[in-house]
């Protein structure tokens, strides 16, 4: 009985669900990288190894003639992992120029496609003849690449005391569910259980649950410190708002005082019209009754003795 005959409706449905989840799993991560324009905390080697693992994944499931959704799954996974890998090269902290990123893309696609096509054709003939060890070896390689690809995030977790940075949790959730439904799909098939296929997905599920657990533990361990920091930030923000309000009130009072001074000066200048006093330049107040005595003096007033001496 061939593997095509082992595919049951339940296996196909479960495999389809797993494929759909894996088709969209990395989209949240890709959008997350694009919005942040930064991939700090997301290891490049992780995404490259995931993209590379899609090659033996594809060889393994195509040669074994697994249900169609499971055959499509690794190729979709490889595509999105490759896009995310290129993002880690283009965005900070690496910031490669675009032309280098495009060269890497062309080389990766050519190498991956060449290896897969070059292995599927001869391995199918061997598998039909009962020689299964090459396919088993390819499956082991896929499992190793997949598992090793999830180790670099643990190094990032260690550097940050368990905190997850740069990895989108929606992506992790969808990826874990995709692996889970793929396991159910393999279990639902007739015949012998595909142990190695289950191991491939169990590795993904276990390591991703480890990432979830690490961040949850970090949140529980640092909840008091984060709460105190949040309260301190709130207090600082309130103080800054109060200072800004005081500055605005002070500025408004100063303007009012300045306008009041201008009004007082105008009233004083026009005092001769509205009251009994005017302001002299020297600052002395001169009554209106004495205005007539302030007429300019003539030469006759200033030098009368000299005129009298001349007559004598």
pLDDT for 286: 46
Under 8 Å CB-to-CB from 27, ≥6 apart: which residues? 80, 171
| Total number of residues shown for the chain | 312
Q: Are 213 and 91 spatial neighbours (Cβ–Cβ below 8 Å)?
A: no
The percent of residues in the chain predicted with pLDDT above 90, rounded, is 38
Under 8 Å CB-to-CB from 91, ≥6 apart: which residues? 33, 36, 37, 38, 39
Of 51, 102, 96, 39, whose CA–CA distance to 78 is shortest? 51
pLDDT for 254: 55
Mean pLDDT score, 254-273: 53
pLDDT for 277: 43
Q: Are 79 and 23 spatial neighbours (Cβ–Cβ below 8 Å)?
A: no
Q: Which pLDDT band holds residue 282 (cuts at 50, 70, 90)?
A: very low
Give yes or no for residue 32 having a pLDDT over 90.
yes
The encoded tokens of residue 98 equal 């675009």
Give yes or no for residue 287 having a pLDDT over 60.
no
CA distance 156 to 162: 8
Of 147, 149, 156, whose CA–CA distance to 42 is shortest? 156
Averaged pLDDT score across all residues of the chain: 79
pLDDT for 174: 93
The encoded tokens of residue 272 equal 């001769």
Mean pLDDT score, 116-120: 93
Mean pLDDT score, 286-293: 47
């Amino acid at each position: 009985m061939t593997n095509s005959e082992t595919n049951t409706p339940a296996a196909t449905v479960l495999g389809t669900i797993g494929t759909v989840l894996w088709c969209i799993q990395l989209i949240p991560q890709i959008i997350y990288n694009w919005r942040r324009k930064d991939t700090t905390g997301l290891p490049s080697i992780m995404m490259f190894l995931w993209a590379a693992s899609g090659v033996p994944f594809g060889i393994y499931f195509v040669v074994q003639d697994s249900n169609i959704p499971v055959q499509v799954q690794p190729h979709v996974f490889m595509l999105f992992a490759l896009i995310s890998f290129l993002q880690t090269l283009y965005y900070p902290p690496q910031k490669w120029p675009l032309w280098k990123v495009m060269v890497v893309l062309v080389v990766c696609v050519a190498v991956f496609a060449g290896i897969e096509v070059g292995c599927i054709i001869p391995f199918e003939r061997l598998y039909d003849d009962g020689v299964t060890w090459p396919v088993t070896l390819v499956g082991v390689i896929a499992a190793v690449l997949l598992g090793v690809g999830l180790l670099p995030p643990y190094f990032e977790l260690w550097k940050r005391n368990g905190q997850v940075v740069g990895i989108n949790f929606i992506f992790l959730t969808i990826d874990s569910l995709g692996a889970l439904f793929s396991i159910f799909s393999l279990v639902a098939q007739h015949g012998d259980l595909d142990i190695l296929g289950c191991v491939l997905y169990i590795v993904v599920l276990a390591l991703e649950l480890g990432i979830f657990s690490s961040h949850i533990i970090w949140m529980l361990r640092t909840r008091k410190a984060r709460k105190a920091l949040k309260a301190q930030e709130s207090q600082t923000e309130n103080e800054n708002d109060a200072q800004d309000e005081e500055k605005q009130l002070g500025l408004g009072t100063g303007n009012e005082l300045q306008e009041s001074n201008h009004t007082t000066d105008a009233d004083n200048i026009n005092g001769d019209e509205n009251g009994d006093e005017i302001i002299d330049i020297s600052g002395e107040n001169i009554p209106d009754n004495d205005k007539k005595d302030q007429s300019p003096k003539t030469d006759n007033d200033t030098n009368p003795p000299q005129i009298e001496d001349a007559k004598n």
